[in-house]
Structure 1
Amino acid sequence: MATSAPQRRWQAFCPNCGGPVEFASPASASTVCSYCRSTLLREGETLRRVGQSAELFQDYSPLQLGAAGRFAGAGFVVVGRLQMAYADGGWNEWHVLFDANADTPPRSGWLSEDNGQFVMSFEAPLSDRAPNPDSLSAGGLQMLGGAAWQVASRFSATLAAAEGELPHAPRMDSSYWVVDLRNTQGEVATLDYSDPAAPTWSVGRSVRLSDLAMTGLRQDSTASVKSRAVPCPNCGASLEPQLETTQSIVCHQCKSVVDVSKGVGAELSAYHQITGGDPQIPLGTSGDLALSGGTPKPWQVVGYMERVDIPESPEDEQTFWREYLLFNKIEGFAFLVDTEEGWSVVRPITGAPAKSGKDTVTWKDKTFKRRWTYTAKVTYVLGEFYWRVRRDERARVGDYEWRNGGRLELLSSEQTGQEITWSQGRAVDAAEVQRAFALPEQQLGSLRRDVASGSDTTSLLVKVTVGLLLLALLFAFLRACSRDDCQDYKNTYGASSAEYQQCKRNSGSGAIYSGSGGGSYGGYSSGGGGHK
């Protein structure tokens, strides 16, 4: 079991204010004085002030200094934190120190936030020369440490604030590149260029706080929830985020999207939005749903989003769909997606699939075939989100499918700027959605209001059959009209008369035999649209 003192502590006094400073590990190089915020560098038995850390902003992370847990059989304690910031928001990296024993020296790691989840990673020597960050772009492949990695994101970050004990002296003076990479084994790696001459390389995996048996987490009492209330900058209504990880919240009164990523007390930014539709599953509704077909688990609807694709050609149809953000305090976040082709449930994955062909990728020994590639835009949101929601947020999306009989699994990539995220899930029937969230039975019809999956063989056959029947009826109708319209001319003037031939030409009956087509069957377009 982790203790509050993994090994013998080293104590000293801050050279700036004289306050007591304590190191839990002899391997730690730096700390931040909790009294005057001085950044202190340890040099043997002395401390030297090398800078000043900004005040921490009060975020909603459940972690805090002193929290303890277990990972891979070893206990650890949270001893430090970096608050990182970039153009689209920020995140925390928590420095954790593992228990030492007679056989092993103290080991430190990083417990970091990742797409609404957490990753435990460890710094490691990099045998290869770190690539120039300018040569890396989201979605690109890179060989590092003897393995192939996909670049997941590249952005310029700054260290906004720091606290506690750290393995390196924090760089507070300027911004630097941070590159995240993922591989087919479900691992995530980071290249930190805060020291351009010697970039830091770390590798880790996704973890759940429940699996870490954490103790000493920030308590989510009624009082603490109310203390996080902030006023809407547009109408003044009181907004009370209910999730620890909320970065954006929609005002229940004026429907403005408010950025709360900088925490309580910070200046809030917001934007108005045009009112959209009402979600069929109301915010706050809870239901039991199985993400991968296993045991159903409780999920609560905390966010709602309407999106639309941007056609690349005027001939393409425009498609609209809805996404519900689901939350489970143990599992994290997932998405329930309502499209013209039916329902699906997906969640972000830590790794990245391998490209196995021109239009295929492989993930977990399954080959997924690409079906659509398009640009999606957010048009309306409600509720809370673990990322900063931007006005008209756009993403380049690639949808992939894997089929085995009646079983359909989905894989999707979304790229926004220099960041790409992969998600995996499965198709679900509208009846399963209705049962899971205990919706009224009379609502089942509206849940199925859209057409069934266009890739469903039976549905497609029905559409094609109906289309062909309509064409046959149209053909017979035109022939009948042609015969009725011209029969009098034929009877009066004869089949070879100019009058009869002119009537035939005006009737357009010749076009029936010309073989010209429009690419559709009974109004069901065979190209464009319906892809999400």
Structure 2
Amino acid sequence: MADQASGAQRRWRAACPNCGAPVEFASAASASAVCGFCRSTLLRDGDTLERIGQSAEIFEDYSPLQLGSTGRWMGSGFAVVGRVQRGSELGNWNEWHLLFDAGDKPRVAWLSEDNGQFVLSLEAPLAEAPPLNLQPGLPLTLAGQRWQVAAVVDAAVRAAEGELPRVPRTGRVVELRNPQDEVGSLEFREDGPPVWSVGRGVQLADLALQGLRTTAEGESIAEAKFVGRSIACPSCGAPLEPKLSQSRSMVCAQCQAVVDLPSGDAKALGFTPQPQGLPPLIPLGRTGTLALAGGKPESWTVVGYQERCDIPEDAEDEQSFWREYLLYNRLAGFAFLVDTREGWSLVRTLTGAPGQGRGGVSWQGRNYAQRWVYGAKTTHVLGEFYWPVRLEDRVQVTDFASPDGQYLLSREQQGPEVTWSAGQTLPATAVQKAFGLSAPAAQFARDASAFKSSGGTLLRNIIIGIFLVVLLFALLRACSSDDCQRYKDSFGENSTEYQQCRASARSGGYYGSGNSGGSYGGYSSGGGGHK
């Protein structure tokens, strides 16, 4: 064994008790490590190492980070010294163990990576015992702050490497979010009290990272646009070539089967067939310049497309349809461009969660009123996605809007996870100009004023709406022309909206302009927002 100083940190080295290879600890606070040669899981006890198990091989996930990468955060330097790969029914994610430059006390820090987003968290003592029966969506006061429970999962340890503060264990993980845009994490362990950490979202570009992984051409994986792997479609055999390292699902361009992408270079096995659909208004691969709310204009590429609809409570209810374009920027991550008959909007998932506000919820000093509550599902997809896409998967959606209708919030819950997203309406002309589209102007002319909140006039609007429905129904029965012309003009002759309107007219029903849900769509990832 050897114990040597390295700056203010004390580095400690010993031989692996299984294979004899050197195992080094850069921090006195680290109590566990995985041998880089034989994959033995080791427990440090004073000046001895004990082998307590065997870690699985790290699966290839094309993360830009690697052991030995360095960076800076809040004025302090850090090094990446360990990694735990976890997984649950929501997907897989990385937790990178960071060792900061020595201070008065060693800090246990993590950089959690999932869906192209990163959260940097610091572990902290927790003076109180958290409740055991936590449910997604419920409020919770913990560590002096008010939180919302965002996810409750049984997180398995898939693999681990490097130096760790403790032996990684499979167990329940609860994720919390608050209006301060923070993420809290509770890891319940059988061998001790829950591990508590608090963090917030970060951009890799702001961490001054060095020593990142590179592609075969020497380009940083964090900046690389294309991964360049090729997988055979399990449905028709055509080559699938995902362009993003984060992609977990992809639609075959030849047979349009929805394929689950494997980790690394394994074969794709799971797929779901779907019928051929119409091409989206904005082609896949098209790049346009748009600005997120409060941000600067950035270049976004369309990498995925999904058609969604609400789920009527009974056969008499009207059904709404909308389209969501998954956009990607290599430094900013992912965003959604949402196209509904009420207008266009650009949104992205939140790190935090809104708090209670006047008449609804509040986020970053702005109040939002609730508009719709409905079930929704995905009916058709194209391109690739950073979450496992499931056709017909159902989520519960609650939509909110600011009084002026310019700012939007959406809450989606699916199983053990709640995801919040925020966005801002866009003029149709801005979308058309950004992506250089030459489609008829009528197909972009959505009435964004419909997003406006009615404040305390909801009852009045309902009464007026009922009156208009009755009036328009009478006009519909008396009119012999094509009463669905406005849907044809706005969405095209082959659109879902126009075809359903025509079917409804032929059956003597009415396809109106009211909203039963799906007013501006759900913006969440549909799974995988944890961490």
TM-score range (shorter-chain normalised) is 0.7 to 0.9
Question: Alignment partner of 1:434: what SS?
Answer: helix
Judge conservation of contact 2:425–2:448 (CA < 8 Å) in 1.
no
Deviation string for 1:274-312 (max 9, x for gaps)?
Answer: 222211111111111011154211111111111111001
The equivalent residue for 1:164 is: 162
Q: Does 1:111 align with 2:108?
A: no
- Note if 1:528 corresponds to 2:524: no
Aligned runs of 1:249-398 on 2, under 5 Å? 249-265=250-266, 268-292=269-293, 294-356=295-357, 360-398=360-398
**Alpha-carbon displacement from aligned partner over 1:348-407 (angstroms, at most 9, x marks no partner):** 1111111235x5001111110000111110111111211111232211111100034xx6
Structure 1 length-normalised TM: 0.82
Matched, 1:243 2:239: no
1:83 aligns with 2:85: yes
Pair 1:226–1:398, CA change in 2 (3 A):
closer
- 2:113 alignment partner AA: E
1:3-14 → structure 2 map (5 Å cutoff): 7-14=9-16
Match 1:17 to one of 16, 19, 23: 19
Partner SS, residue 450 of structure 2: coil
Matched-pair contact (CA < 8 Å) for 2:378–2:392 = yes
Amino acid at match of 1:195: E
Distance 2:473 2:282 in 1: 42
Q: Distance in 1 between matches of 2:148 and 2:316?
A: 34
TM-score (norm 2): 0.82
The residue matched to 1:400 in structure 2 has which SS? strand
Distance 2:433 2:256 in 1: 30
Q: Percent identity among equivalent residues?
A: 53
Q: Is 1:421 the equivalent of 2:404?
A: no
Measure the CA separation in 1 of the matches of 2:470 and 2:234. 59
**1:154 aligned residue:** 152
Listed as ranges, the gaps of 5+ residues in structure 2 are 1-5, 455-460, 479-509, 521-531
Greater relative contact order (Cα < 8 A, sep 6+): 2
Does the 8 Å CA contact 1:37/1:53 hold for their aligned counterparts?
yes
| Kept after mapping to 1: 8 A contact 2:61/2:264 | yes
Distance 2:390 2:244 in 1: 19
Indicate which of 13, 28, 31 corresponds to 1:29: 31
Output aligned runs, 1:32-47, within 5 Å.
32-47=34-49
Q: Distance in 1 between matches of 2:474 and 2:177?
A: 56
Equivalent residue number for residue 454 of structure 1: 450
Q: Which residue of 2 aligns with 1:57?
A: 59
Return the offset for 1:130.
2.3
Aligned partner of 1:182 in structure 2 is 177
- Alpha-carbon deviations, 1:61-102, whole Å to 9, x = none? 1111111111001111111100101123211100011112xx
Over 3 Å counting, the alpha-carbon distance change for 1:5 and 1:276 in structure 2 is: farther
* CA–CA separation in structure 1 for the residues paired with 2:472 and 2:117: 53
Aligned equivalent of 1:192? 187
Letter aligned with residue 202 of structure 1: S
Which segment is superposed worse, 192-201 or 377-386? 192-201
CA deviation vs aligned residue, 1:310-337 (integer Å, no higher than 9, x gap): 0013221111111001111111111000
Counterpart of 2:139 in structure 1 is 141
Mapped to 1, the partners of 2:149 and 2:96 lie a distance apart of 23
Residues 141 and 469 (structure 1), Cα distance of their counterparts in 2 relative to 1, 3 Å cut: closer
Superposition RMSD in Å: 2.9
Distance 2:195 2:227 in 1: 40
1:398-444 alpha-carbon deviations (Å, 9 max, x no partner)? 1100034xx6100111111110000011011110001111222x443
* SS of corresponding position for 2:402: strand
Looking at structure 1, the residues matched to 154 and 470 of structure 2 have their Cα atoms a distance apart, in angstroms, of 59
Q: Hey, what does 1:500 align to over in structure 2?
A: none
Contact 2:374 2:517 (8 Å CA) reproduced: no
Question: Which residue type is aligned with residue 120 of structure 1?
Answer: L
Q: What is the distance in 2 between the residues matched to 1:6 and 1:234?
A: 57
Change (3 A) 1:73 1:468: closer
**In the alignment, which of 201, 213, 232 is matched to residue 208 of structure 2?**
213
| 2:494 alignment partner in structure 1 | none
1:104 Cα shift?
A: 2.4
Q: Which residue of structure 1 lines up, in the alignment, with residue 483 of structure 2?
A: none
Contact 1:302/1:384 (<8 A) preserved = yes
Please say if 1:67 is aligned against 2:69: yes
The alignment covers a number of residue pairs equal to 469
Residue 226 to residue 128, structure 1, CA distance change in 2 (3 Å): closer
Report if aligned partners of 1:301, 1:326 keep a CA contact under 8 Å in 2: yes
Residue in 1 aligned with 2:482? none
Shift of 1:199: 1.1
Instruction: Give the aligned partner of residue 121 of structure 1.
Output: 121
**What are the Cα deviations for residues 158-184 of structure 1, in whole angstroms up to 9, with x where unaligned?**
10100011000122xxx4211100011
Name the SS for the 2:319 alignment partner.
coil
SS in 1 for 2:84: strand
Cα pair distance change 1:455/1:162, threshold 3 Å: closer
Matches of 2:188 and 2:257, distance apart in 1: 37
Q: Distance in 2 between matches of 1:472 and 1:328?
A: 46
Shift of 1:254: 1.8
CA distances 1:36-83 after superposition (whole Å, capped 9, x unpaired):
100001111111000000111111211111111110011111111001
SS of 1:9's equivalent? strand
CA distance in 2, matches of 1:375, 1:529: 8
Q: CA deviation at 1:249?
A: 1.7
Question: Which has more radius of gyration?
Answer: 1
Post-superposition offset of 1:244:
2.2
Using the TM superposition, give the Cα deviation of residue 468 of structure 1 relative to its aligned residue in structure 2, in angstroms: 11
Contact 2:403/2:453 (<8 A) preserved:
no
SS of structure 2 residue aligned to 1:454: helix
Once the two structures are superposed, residues 1-25 of structure 1 have per-residue CA deviations (whole angstroms, 9 ceiling, x without a partner) of: xxx9883421111100111111111
C-alpha contact 1:410 1:425 (8 A) present in aligned 2: yes
Partners of 1:469 and 1:397 in 2: how far apart? 28
Alpha-carbon distance between aligned partners in 1 of 2:240 and 2:177, rounded to the nearest angstrom: 36
SS across alignment from 1:199: strand
Letter in 2 for 1:454: A
